[in-house]
Amino acid sequence: MLFAVRMDVDIPRDLAPDERTDLVTREKAYCQELQKSGEWVHIWRCVGQYSNLSVFDVADNEALHRILWGLPLFPFMSIEVTPLAQHPSDLAAGGPVR
């Protein structure tokens, strides 16, 4: 199942610099492991914002929930999830969808 996920990050300005660095480092490692496993398909920076737009390909809602819940930056994020379906005009998708 494909999901588009927008993550808006808001780390408190008074968080200790070491803690901030640790969080961001762990977030990057977590993200890159999931890219290697094929579950985190895309991550794009939203221009001019501390936000990303990502695409996940996961087994089900619970799998996505576990992944998002496990994000080191989860406590400092607002997350919007959009389930995706094939568009009938998508040439790349091939088959007939109505």
The residues of the shown chain that bind ligand LWBT4IAB, judged by CB under 6 A, are 7, 9, 27-28, 31, 52, 73
Q: How far is the CB of 52 from ligand LWBT4IAB (least distance, A)?
A: 4
Residue 55 neighbours by CB under 8 Å, 6+ apart: 2, 3, 4, 5, 40, 41, 42, 84
Is 97:88 a contact under the CB 8 Å cutoff? yes
Q: How far is the CB of 19 from ligand LWBT4IAB (least distance, A)?
A: 16
Closest to ligand LWBT4IAB by CB, 52 vs 63, is: 52
Closest to ligand LWBT4IAB by CB, 37 vs 86, is: 37
Report the distance separating Cα 33 and Cα 52, nearest Å.
17
Closest to ligand LWBT4IAB by CB, 47 vs 85, is: 47
Q: Residue 79's closest CA among 61, 54, 57?
A: 54
Q: How far is the CB of 70 from ligand LWBT4IAB (least distance, A)?
A: 11
Residue 12 neighbours by CB under 8 Å, 6+ apart: 76
Q: How far is the CB of 71 from ligand LWBT4IAB (least distance, A)?
A: 7
